[in-house]
Amino acid sequence: MRYFLPILLIPFFFYGCDATDDPPPPPDDNGEALVEAFPELSFDRPVDLQHAGDGTDRIFVVEQRGVISVFPNDPEASDKTEFLDISGRVDDSANEMGLLGLAFHPNFESNGYFYVNYTASSPRRTIIARFSVSGNDPDQADPESEIEILSYNQPQGNHNGGQISFGPDGYLYIALGDGGGGGDPGNNAQDLTNLLGAILRIDVDNQQDGNEYSIPADNPFADNEEGYREEIFAWGLRNPWRFSFDPETDQLWVGDVGQVDKEVIHIVDNGLNYGWNIIEGSICYPPGSECDKEGLELPFFEYDWGQANTGQSITGGFVYRGENLPALYGMYIYGDYVSGRIWALDISDEENPDNSELIQADFNIPSFGTDQHNELYILGFDRKVYRLGSGIMD
């Protein structure tokens, strides 16, 4: 995003007995293409939407200022509850700083743990922290339960990444930008001795070497002797603001924001170098220069800035695995923060992906999210949350 980004045991009955794993029927949207998902609710710069994975069908929305709200997954919801407020700890003084990401532990239903990604000041840094839900109220977190898992300094106020998510392997994945500044002046994304410009993968269920996490044994630089950061899973990324896992294939999809020419989609895998700042997308950087692309991973898909004014800042999305929009099943749905365009990338033939524009929204798109039924939501900087309606394919 370029312009703005002792175990607690909780019995199952504590969350209520009305939750169901059955998806709700498709909502009636009168054939509209884009619909307000929760028309009675609004949010201050919403940047992330998650569900807890505990079967309660609640929605959690992250506001950049440092607040997380929770409410039932019901289009008629008229009230939201403040789940966590850490605005006093969060530095959101720049457009891409603030509370940027939320991830619930895979065993959240039993341990009550969730994780956040936020920026703080003095010094300017990113903090990955764990919090616990209250023992008395499932819609209230304990703000004093914070345990810092990992922190790292940020050279600039932009390119902070922000996404965190547990992968299908149970490890926590963390997206880091290159530290900011045009063209990665510190060459951070190619410097394996720091964490910037990379996707990290850590094990938060085990501690190692005095840290609140350990290194998975198959991380590419585990136990290396060159001084490379063992947390790194993949590197050579500029600003991987949003990523997601396909729940069917387990593939890791990353939208990487470009510099001056290309907006990039990668399928990211263990131990690979995605090329920034040697390349921007598939071309050498700076534009017009020559470079050696050997050993670098080229994009799965990319679009140009000048391509019919498509946009200038990709917002990574999700491979759609819901039931309400069967025509989009298995397609990667993503957007552009600047132009408001939303596309469907048909990935059935990975050698020849086919991109189709679905709609152009009249608001900036900072993020997408899914509920427990894998239905897709679009967050807008017009203070609203949207979903794609049945008219999207008309």
Beta-bridge mates of residue 150: 128
| CA count, 13 A, side-chain hemisphere, 80 | 21
pLDDT in tens, 133-157: 999 999 999 999 999 999 999 999 9
Chain centroid offset of residue 165 CA: 7
Give pLDDT tens digits for 195-237.
999 999 999 999 999 999 999 999 999 999 999 999 999 999 9
d(CA 4, CA 56) in angstroms, rounded, equals: 32
Domain membership of residue 68 (yes or no) is yes
**Side chain identity at 71, as an amino acid letter?**
F
The CATH number for 195's domain is: 2.120.10.30
Asked if the structure places residue 115 within a domain, the reply is yes
How many whole angstroms separate alpha carbon 229 and alpha carbon 171? 17
5 domain-assigned: no
Residue 3 domain-assigned (yes or no): no
- Is 1 among the domain residues? no
Report the amino acid identity of residue 239.
N
Q: What pLDDT, on a 0 to 100 scale, did the predictor assign at position 394?
A: 74
Name every residue whose Cβ is closer than 8 Å to that of residue 62 and which is 6 or more positions away in sequence: 46, 47, 48, 49, 50, 68, 99, 100, 101, 102, 116
Give the number of domains in the chain.
1
Question: Distance between CA atoms of 93 and 127, rounded to whole angstroms?
Answer: 16
pLDDT along the chain (394 residues), means of 10: 38 36 68 96 98 98 98 98 98 96 98 98 97 96 98 96 98 98 96 98 97 98 98 98 98 97 97 98 96 98 78 95 97 96 96 96 97 98 97 83
Pairwise CA distance, residues 25 & 32, whole Å: 17
Helix (H) or strand (E) holding 113, with range, is strand 113-120
Give domain status of residue 6, yes or no. no
Provide the pLDDT for residue 388.
Answer: 97
Domain containing 109: what range?
12-393
Q: Taking the CA atoms of 25, 27, 332 and 179 in sequence, report the sign of the dihedral they define.
A: negative
Q: Give domain status of residue 337, yes or no.
A: yes
Give pLDDT, residue 22: 63
